[in-house]
Amino acid sequence: MTPKVFVIDKEGRPCLPTHPARARKLLLKGKARVVKVVPFTIQLERVIENPLGSFTVGIDDGAKEVGIAVVSEKTKEVVFRGTIELRQDVSRKIKQRAEYRRSRRGRKLRYRKARFLNRKHLQPQPSIRQRKESILRVVKDLKKVLNITDAVIEQGQFDVSSLQAGRQLVGIEFQQSFYEGRNFRAKVLWRDNYTCQHCSAKEELNAHHIRRRIDCGTNTPKNGITLCKKCHDSLHAGEWELELKPKDFKYPMHLMQGKWYIFNLLSSLGLSVQRCVGWMTAYWRNSIKIEKSHPNDAIAMVTKNYMPNIASLEYTILLRRAKVWEDNPTKQSQEKMGFRHYDLVKCKHRKRGWVIGSVRSLKAKVMTLRAKEDSNFPVSYRKSRILQRFNRIIYSY
């Protein structure tokens, strides 16, 4: 399907996204104007009394990449999908800052009392907080153009809390035996580091019940061990005997902390947030037969049992700060010839039209631009014009 165009009304309230042809007509008749090029957004010249539509955002939370998809459950359409690329340098930078500070206090501020272990609020560590807040920034930005009312997030690979509570995680109820079985498998595999405990294979893994279910064996990790299909089959055929003891199951709480942090952040936006766990996402993704990727996981999380129409490009989302020019001698200039870092620029001689780039060069007449899959290339200031001012979030496709 053609990617939809986002529409906002005169007062900036989100309306239903529309077909590009309709948007073009509105633009030609002067009934709307372009406010954003990527993702393409138009603003109507009139006020819409009751802006319609409600959307659900699915978030596949990861440490490096986060899949995000906005779905209309009414029309069964994906109107936005993409991957947020997260920063990986936060913990290093925090450490570096702490070192500077320690050394400064040692050199210049020795008269002050020592201060340590004095955190007032327990909150996730900065690297985790940054990740979750990046997600929030993107959701907030999308909320400007789409009326997002619901969210679905993944809280870990399996349900750590009580099994009974877990079955209500997502609104639709799984059969209890199915739920417990899947959760058992996910826990055991996670604890055993996704490796066969007999032969160290990493594929086709099963969670074996040490004491059989039929003999009152439980679905607790203590009663489980990871085996690959080969070892598992031969064990059941009686070719060898299980002697190893399963390891202890300990789920680190700091992982959970971050999951609740994003849950609370999204709730504070006024969204009603549903939770699911990793094996559910995989189950839904397989049942609607789409390949594994971060945006697809986010889609499956929302739609669960139907395949929606995809009416969106696949975006890569980068979060950046406004930056002072790196090699500028004065270190103060924010712009040069009207161009700033990460502005979206259209240049004349380039076929591909527009590029995303950083304006970094200090040469008199050219600046360096960077297209998405292209290497850097220079263009002249005179032959370029700004399509879109950098606004801290870069969408590209």
Tell me which residues touch Zn ion (CB under 5 A).
196, 198-199, 201, 208, 228, 231
Nearest approach in angstroms of CB 207 to Zn ion is 8
Q: Considering beta carbons, is residue 86 or 231 the nearer one to Zn ion?
A: 231
Evaluate whether 36 touches 393 at the Cβ level (below 8 Å): no
Q: Considering beta carbons, is residue 241 or 291 the nearer one to Zn ion?
A: 241
Evaluate whether 146 touches 70 at the Cβ level (below 8 Å): yes
Q: What is the distance between the terminal CA atoms of the chain, rounded to a whole angstrom?
A: 16
Q: Considering beta carbons, is residue 81 or 209 the nearer one to Zn ion?
A: 209
Nearest approach in angstroms of CB 392 to Zn ion is 49
Q: Considering beta carbons, is residue 208 or 341 the nearer one to Zn ion?
A: 208
Q: Considering beta carbons, is residue 199 or 269 the nearer one to Zn ion?
A: 199
User: CA 39, CA 394: separation in Å to the nearest integer?
Assistant: 10
Nearest approach in angstroms of CB 35 to Zn ion is 58
Nearest approach in angstroms of CB 226 to Zn ion is 9
Contact partners, residue 99, CB within 8 Å, separation at least 6:
none
Evaluate whether 379 touches 370 at the Cβ level (below 8 Å): no
Q: Considering beta carbons, is residue 228 or 367 the nearer one to Zn ion?
A: 228
Taking the alpha carbons of 238, 244, 249, 252 in that order, is the dihedral positive or negative? negative
Nearest approach in angstroms of CB 238 to Zn ion is 12
Evaluate whether 24 touches 18 at the Cβ level (below 8 Å): no
Nearest approach in angstroms of CB 13 to Zn ion is 57
Nearest approach in angstroms of CB 210 to Zn ion is 8
Contact partners, residue 281, CB within 8 Å, separation at least 6:
60, 154, 297, 300, 301
42 in helix, strand or coil? strand
Evaluate whether 70 touches 84 at the Cβ level (below 8 Å): no
Q: Considering beta carbons, is residue 99 or 233 the nearer one to Zn ion?
A: 233
User: CA 299, CA 301: separation in Å to the nearest integer?
Assistant: 5
